[in-house]
């Protein structure tokens, strides 16, 4: 998981089964499965109100050349971006 702040600082953490991570309020974060097994994780919020901004979707909807030029992104990354946001699912009963 990578956690990033508005001032350009970021830290990346490697977690294993049973570990707990924390993302400070108003920080962005990115979770990537770097293993070879299915990843299941539980994300808990202090508030009953959830808001999501998908960086993946935002980059996919931005003109391709603009993203490539500013991020020096290759075709592998550009082709992996999704224009549709993947939903965050609320666990029933919570």
Active site residues: 43
Token reading at 37: 């097994």
Between the CA of residue 34 and those of 16, 48, 93, what are the distances in Å?
10, 30, 30
Between the CA of residue 65 and those of 24, 50, 68, 85, what are the distances in Å?
33, 32, 5, 21
């Amino acid at each position: 998981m990578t956690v990033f702040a508005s001032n350009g600082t970021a830290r990346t953490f490697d977690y294993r089964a049973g570990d707990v991570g924390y993302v400070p309020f108003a920080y962005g974060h990115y979770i990537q499965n770097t293993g070879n097994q299915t990843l299941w994780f539980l994300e808990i919020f202090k508030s009953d109100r959830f808001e999501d901004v998908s960086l993946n979707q935002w980059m996919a909807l931005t003109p391709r050349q603009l993203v490539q030029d500013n991020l020096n992104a290759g075709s592998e990354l550009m082709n992996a971006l999704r224009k549709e946001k993947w939903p965050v699912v609320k666990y029933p009963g919570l």
